[in-house]
Amino acid sequence: MGSNSLNGLKSQQHPGAYYAFNDFFSRNKFDLIIEVGTGEGGLTVFLATITPDTIIHTIDLHPRHRQEGFNKINNINFQCLDIFNAEVIESLRVLSTGKKTCWLLDGGNKNLEFKTYLPVAEEGDILMMHDFARTSESHTKIYGSGRWHWHESGYENILPLDDVEWANEALLENCVWGTYKKIDTAKKRKKMWCQGIAEHQQNEKNFVGYGSKYEFVKSSGTINFINNIIKTYNIKSINDVGCGFFANWAH
């Protein structure tokens, strides 16, 4: 199960993965694809075919015999390297700097690969992990029934992390690929604060018009609401907060 062949090279992918990747890359354009864990090279060949204008830099610890299948494909660059080596990490940081990059993490330790290369990735980059299920329970219920037998990455192994968000690519998830987007932490927090404030104001119909009158602020639960935000986000100064919410508060 999960073995296909392209250009004479095997690809250990769910049968639906080719359609899912084609759909994803038709909607998302990248300057660079970095594949950690080349395997036999079949997926690499497929990706090179559907993204002919994108360089695919693929890395594996084992040389195997895949180079012949890559020889006639101009946008594949294969290297045999240890992806946890500090010099390799730095070289990939330099390579990807200033380029919109899709990171495909499919080596021998997907969770560690994710944690290693998330700091290297830039805002807007996509990081994908193979053999993915959100939790062990979901894998047992869905993939253990015969769709896929491997579970090597998931929510429970990498979260909580502030600087990524779930990309919600359902087709890829159905083919055991989890997709995340690297985001700016400060922007994420500001967005969350603004959403929380808007929801609170919507729930408090009498909120508008009372200003900072203590009795109303206290009875409306606003003080507890603000204290919870301060504790949750470890706020030290009103300058840390977007939306101007604390502009009239001293704390």
Could you report how far apart the first and last alpha carbons of the chain are, in Å?
A: 60
DSSP state of 242: S
Reported as a single tens digit per residue, the pLDDT across 5-19 is 555 666 667 778 899
pLDDT at 214: 61
Q: Does domain 4-183 have CATH number 3.30.70.100?
A: no
- Could you tell me if 125 and 115 are in contact, meaning their C-beta atoms sit under 8 angstroms apart? no
pTM of this prediction exceeds 0.85? no
How confident is the model over 48-88, as pLDDT tens digits?
A: 999 999 999 999 988 776 667 787 889 999 999 999 999 99
pLDDT mean over 133-152: 58
Q: Which residues pair with 145 in a beta bridge?
A: none
Rounded to the nearest angstrom, the gap between the alpha carbon of residue 147 and the centroid of all alpha carbons in its chain is 23
Q: How confident is the model at residue 120 (pLDDT cuts 50, 70, 90)?
A: very high
Strands of the sheet with 101-105, listed across from one edge: 76-80, 55-60, 32-36, 101-105, 126-130, 177-182, 164-166
